[in-house]
Amino acid sequence: MAHEVKTTCPYCGVGCGVIARVGDDGAVSVKGDPEHPANFGRLCSKGSALAETLDLDGRLLHPEIGGRRTSWDEALDLVAEKFSQSIAEHGPDSVAFYVSGQLLTEDYYLANKLMKGFIGSANIDTNSRLCMSSSVAGHRRAFGSDTVPGTYEDLELADLVILTGSNMAWCHPVLYQRLASAKANRPDMKVVVIDPRRTMTAEIADVHLAIAPDSDTALFNGLLAHLSESGAIDLDYVSAHTQGFAEALQAASALDIPALSEATGLAPKQLRDFFRLFETTEKVVTCYSQGVNQSSAGTDKVNAILNCHLATGRIGRPGMGPFSLTGQPNAMGGREVGGLANMLAAHLDIDKLVDRDLVRRFWGAPSIAAKQGLKAVDMFRAVADGRIKALWIMATNPVVSMPDADAVEAAIKACPFVVVSDMQRQTDTARHAHVALPSLGWGEKDGTVTNSERRISRQRAFLPAPGEARADWWQLAEVARRMGFAEAFSHSSQSEIFAEHAALSGFENDGRRDFDISAHAEIEPADYNGLAPFQWPQPKGTAPQVKRFFAKGGFYHPDGRARFIAVQSPQARRANEAFPLTLNTGRVRDHWHTMTRTGKSARLSSHLAEPFVEIHPRDAQKAGVSVADLVMLESPHGTAIVRALVTERQAEGNLFVPMHWNDQFASKARIDALVPPVTDPVSGQPASKNVAVRAKRFAAK
Ligand code: SF4
């Protein structure tokens, strides 16, 4: 019988509400949910095409061992046996989970609980490491917690919105629609786009600053120094609620305007005009995304931005604040449950004995991980050198998306035991699995996700499970039981897991933590099914509310004060004589990650049909490349062949290539094969921008 279900889009971190309608004939159609506070009925091209991606073509429908169909019991027994054996022979750090922002919070929670509380290692990391871990680290350094201070509404209320390292028009399209429509209604509102490339986002910009790659810290340091010189510092806020301003200002004042101009590639007038605009506009929101995070100095960049907002007290008030845009649908949910190697559940700190002890007692865990685990790049290094002997990859495709992708593929191939849980049978990664476990996909699975503004929404099932596919949390619980942890993994539904997660957020809390949703700790399955989107925090005894953080201080460092971080402007340019061009990777409007879902839609694939490199006409000429030629890109780590898109939107000396294409859709187009495994020293996030490469025309033989 025809029916409608309210759910949440599985793509980006905007987290739009979707109404899926299943007709009498089983055909599915989707539309935006007019009542969802993230999108109020809007959807972008990817969200609108969701119904076109639901076919079972290429799906993994049954468990497999070595490519042979098997039963769930046999597959789960083998996973439990191999992980237990590795732990017994080589210790808990010889196993690892590599998970994904595509997992629902309930899946993430159990994966984290099993690894950190029962296996006793923190070797669980996620592809969210690749998208926003520098923001997490920046938040924690400045605020003492991983807290996003504002809400989407702030972008509409601001008089100045700065977008740095964000192609919001393509990567967070519905939020961009909200911003564009606010700007259309308020002619005085200004938008500044900071990006080496003139992206579609710059179409609504009053100012586009084509900054040199990785010079954001220099720019925001320059801004802080200017704010100080012009008397725009909120001295009351700084003295009442912060620490470290003098040191940060001293570091920020290292470059004068000519030196800043040299570092950023921006003219002195552009710099002065930008600084003055920030100085004279009270309601400022600064949004930042992968162009800031995916850098060897990403955390410093984040803190350079946070410093400017703290210095002016422009934080946590309507229309004011720094705003990190998360890439994935549940990057934020993963952070809440501690699904990163350096975090514990419920925003607790793995480095603090008191926090570890609290979680251990709550879980009744035998052996909580005593130290941080391996972050994504280090985890695959450990797979390569044999320290990791059993690896479980869930809902992600690291053979395409990790830096140094060829080396990651070789490591996975050589790993003694690899489990892959996925919807698709033949992803570039799943091909190398010893055990493949069929997972539910969007429309089939059920749980919660959290978007960039801390809003928790339900993903609901409206399709039957295909074949023998099962939820990821169920797979984890079954393996945990077989490893001897039956009591702690006795959950029979996602609502039970959510209730446990909510209870932990308030356990012995007393209002001390930012992440507290303990109002939902005793939620009944019926209420869970009907759960309306809400923002955290929501402690026990309170009603849902729109909450902003830090307008009156109240930071989560022990003294309640924020920290300014003294950050230096790094040496930005990596290109050299042998590899003279700077490659920045990114995303296109109509594809998502490695295209395992969006690649199924002809409509989405027709937007940009093949992988390409945006190259400035003069660089194309130097490389002997004409419009639509094939181009061979090379770095010391690998090669890729893509189509030339010659355009002045791309700054000279820089290239842009999207990261989506894999060997399934175009051979030799895995651009992450060129990216070196360089990471930010604080966050461990890989630098997927500012890669030194060379280009030449490729003539097929
Ligand atoms: Fe989905 Fe993001 Fe598009 Fe919203 S903006 S419909 S969450 S892809």
Single-letter residue type at 216:
D
Residue-level pLDDT at 400: 85
Compute the CA torsion angle 102, 604, 437, 471 (nearest 10 deg). Answer: 50
Residue-level pLDDT at 607: 85
Determine, yes or no, domain membership for 552. no
Distance 494 CA to ligand 1 centre (A): 24
Q: Bridge-partner residues for 19, per DSSP?
A: 6, 31
Single-letter residue type at 105:
T
Determine, yes or no, domain membership for 340. no
Single-letter residue type at 525:
P
Question: Which whole-number Å values give the CA distances from 542 to 217, 317, 391, 545, 562, in the listed order?
Answer: 40, 21, 41, 9, 26
Instruction: Looking at the structure, tell me whether residues 21 and 110 fall in a common domain.
Output: no
Copy the structure tokens of residue 460. Answer: 């609901």
Which atom of ligand 1 is found nearest the CA of 14? 7
Determine, yes or no, domain membership for 264. yes
Determine, yes or no, domain membership for 299. yes
Instruction: Looking at the structure, tell me whether residues 304 and 415 fall in a common domain.
Output: no
> If we measure between CA atoms, which residue out of 376, 446, 438 comes closest to residue 405?
376
Segments of 512-629 assigned E as strands: 534-535, 562-563, 581-586, 612-615
Distance 665 CA to ligand 1 centre (A): 23
Residue located via tokens 């993430």:
108
Single-letter residue type at 244:
G
CATH assignment of the domain containing 595: 2.40.40.20
The secondary element (H helix, E strand) that includes residue 630 is strand 630-635
Which atom of ligand 1 is found nearest the CA of 15? 7
In this structure, the residues whose C-beta lies within 6 A of any atom of ligand 1 are 9, 11-12, 14-16, 39, 43-44, 46-47, 172-174
Residues 268-305: b if buried by 16+ CB within 10 A, e if exposed: eebbbebbebbbebebbbbbbbbbbbbbbbbbbbbbbb
Question: Which whole-number Å values give the CA distances from 695 to 162, 199, 576, in the listed order?
Answer: 33, 22, 13
Spell out the long-range contacts of 507-511 with Cβ–Cβ below 8 A and sequence spacing 24 or more: 507/346, 507/358, 507/362, 508/358, 509/539, 511/539
Instruction: Looking at the structure, tell me whether residues 283 and 176 fall in a common domain.
Output: yes
**C-beta of residue 334 within 8 angstroms of C-beta of residue 128:** yes
Minimum CA distance residue for ligand 1 atom 4: 16
**Burial environment of residue 694 by CB neighbours within 10 A (0 to 12, 13 to 18, 19 or more):** middle
Q: Are strands 638-646 and 630-635 parallel, antiparallel or unpaired?
A: antiparallel
Q: How far apart are CA 67 and CA 249, in angstroms?
A: 59
Centre a 10 Å sphere on the Cβ of residue 697 and count the other Cβ atoms it contains: 14
Give the chain's residues under pLDDT 50: none
Determine, yes or no, domain membership for 550. no
Instruction: Looking at the structure, tell me whether residues 146 and 176 fall in a common domain.
Output: yes
Which ranges constitute the DSSP H helices of 213-352? Answer: 216-229, 235-241, 245-252, 257-264, 268-280, 290-293, 298-312, 331-336
Q: Looking at 279, 303, 324, which one is the last position of a domain?
A: 324
- Which of 7, 8, 9 to mutate to test ligand 1, by most ligand atoms within 8 A of the CB atom? 9
Copy the structure tokens of residue 495. Answer: 């609502």
Q: How far apart are CA 695 and CA 676, in angstroms?
A: 17
Residue located via tokens 């100012």:
207
Q: How far apart are CA 277 and CA 672, in angstroms?
A: 37
Minimum CA distance residue for ligand 1 atom 2: 12
Minimum CA distance residue for ligand 1 atom 3: 44
CATH assignment of the domain containing 447: 3.40.50.740
Instruction: Looking at the structure, tell me whether residues 493 and 422 fall in a common domain.
Output: yes
Instruction: Looking at the structure, tell me whether residues 530 and 395 fall in a common domain.
Output: yes
Centre a 10 Å sphere on the Cβ of residue 667 and count the other Cβ atoms it contains: 11
Counting the structural domains of the chain, the total is 4
Question: Which whole-number Å values give the CA distances from 210 to 207, 534, 576, 685, in the listed order?
Answer: 10, 37, 21, 24
Determine, yes or no, domain membership for 547. no
Q: Are strands 3-8 and 17-22 parallel, antiparallel or unpaired?
A: antiparallel
Distance 134 CA to ligand 1 centre (A): 23
Single-letter residue type at 686:
P
Rounded CA Rg of the chain? 24
Q: Report pLDDT digits (tens) over 514-555.
A: 999 999 999 999 999 999 999 999 999 888 776 899 999 999
Q: Report pLDDT digits (tens) over 71-110.
A: 999 999 999 999 999 999 999 999 999 999 999 999 999 9
Which atom of ligand 1 is found nearest the CA of 32? 6
Identify the DSSP state of 52: G
Copy the structure tokens of residue 263. Answer: 């570092």
Q: How far apart are CA 675 and CA 693, in angstroms?
A: 9
Instruction: Looking at the structure, tell me whether residues 255 and 373 fall in a common domain.
Output: no
Instruction: Looking at the structure, tell me whether residues 81 and 207 fall in a common domain.
Output: no
Residue-level pLDDT at 355: 95
Contacts of 467 (CB under 8 A, 6+ apart): 56, 59, 61, 62, 438
Centre a 10 Å sphere on the Cβ of residue 672 and count the other Cβ atoms it contains: 27
Distance 170 CA to ligand 1 centre (A): 10
Contacts of 544 (CB under 8 A, 6+ apart): 532, 534, 535, 538
Distance 502 CA to ligand 1 centre (A): 26
Which atom of ligand 1 is found nearest the CA of 175? 5
Q: Bridge-partner residues for 194, per DSSP?
A: 164, 209
Copy the structure tokens of residue 549. Answer: 């953080």
Determine, yes or no, domain membership for 555. no
Instruction: Looking at the structure, tell me whether residues 115 and 165 fall in a common domain.
Output: no
Distance of CA 595 to the CA centre of its chain: 16
> If we measure between CA atoms, which residue out of 214, 194, 190, 217 comes closest to residue 204?
190
Instruction: Looking at the structure, tell me whether residues 84 and 144 fall in a common domain.
Output: no
Distance 274 CA to ligand 1 centre (A): 30
Determine, yes or no, domain membership for 288. yes
Distance 386 CA to ligand 1 centre (A): 39
Instruction: Looking at the structure, tell me whether residues 148 and 105 fall in a common domain.
Output: no
Q: Determine phi and psi for 9, rounding to 5 degrees.
A: -60, 140
Q: Report pLDDT digits (tens) over 644-676.
A: 999 999 989 999 998 887 766 556 778 888 889
Instruction: Looking at the structure, tell me whether residues 143 and 23 fall in a common domain.
Output: no
- Which of 19, 30, 40, 46 to mutate to test ligand 1, by most ligand atoms within 8 A of the CB atom? 46
Distance 50 CA to ligand 1 centre (A): 10
CATH assignment of the domain containing 185: 3.40.228.10
Distance 683 CA to ligand 1 centre (A): 26
Which atom of ligand 1 is found nearest the CA of 172? 5
Structural domain for 585, as ranges: 581-697
